Amino acid sequence: MDELMKVARDCFYTPIYMKKNRPAYKLSVLCDSDKIELVEDIIFANTSSIGIRKTQVERTILERESVTIPYQGLSLSYKKVFHKDNSYIYPEYQSALEFSRKYCLPIKEAFDSLKFIYGEKYEK
């Protein structure tokens, strides 16, 4: 998956059962059309797969901007997204992870704290 993530937008696997109730994993990869051949090469070189099913999908994305806030020696990164007349703030995972480690918090509490910090700084 590390090799795939270098060229794909996202990838994940799902445990499944194949015919005759054999356990397996389904590998799903989302990539741009110009990367398909490279993704296929990675899959065939690194898995036991002998075939790939492909489906074209459409993607709707929200307008977004990146926001960075300095906070007690950390650089906290967020995505601010916009939908119609609303905006939403999402802390970046890496910032939440660093915050959770620095303050010995569970990652969920770190996410909540980062949203609070953003609100204190920008939504007064």
Is pLDDT of 1 > 90? Answer: no
Residues 6 or more apart whose Cβ sits within 8 Å of residue 57:
30
User: What pLDDT is recorded for position 118?
Assistant: 83
Is pLDDT of 123 > 90? Answer: no
> By the 8 A CB rule, do 91 and 106 touch?
no
What pLDDT band is residue 120 in, cutting at 50, 70 and 90? confident
User: What pLDDT is recorded for position 3?
Assistant: 92
